[in-house]
Amino acid sequence: MTLRHIALFRWQDGVDDAQIAEVERLLGALPAAVPELRSYSFGRDAGVSEGAFDFAVVADVDDEAGFVAYRDHPDHQAALAVIRPLLADRAAIQYPLPG
């Protein structure tokens, strides 16, 4: 089984490129720090669709225990402490990947 965690962010008005770059720097360090991460990607909206969220994070882990290890990892919590004050909206899900 693989459990896929998805989080979509919508930034508050005024969040600038340097703040998003800092978020990317913090998230980019997580795969090396969190061994439970089997696959990890994040990125900015490509501007293809109107009304899209601004930023996506996708983390694939083995199971719920892997998700909790990622969620509660101090480096992830440190990233969230930077992200949370920037958020206007957030959408998330965890769903099992087939196969």
Residues contributing to the site for its own copies (CB under 8 A): 3-4, 6, 8, 41-46, 48-49, 51-56, 58, 64, 67, 91-98
Minimum distance, C-beta of residue 91 to its own copies, in the bound complex (Å): 4
Minimum distance, C-beta of residue 70 to its own copies, in the bound complex (Å): 11
By three-state DSSP, how is residue 87 classified? strand
Q: Which is nearer to its own copies, 16 or 50 (CB)?
A: 50
Q: What is the DSSP string of 36-79?
A: T-SEEEEEE--S-STT--SEEEEEEESSHHHHHHHHH-HHHHHH
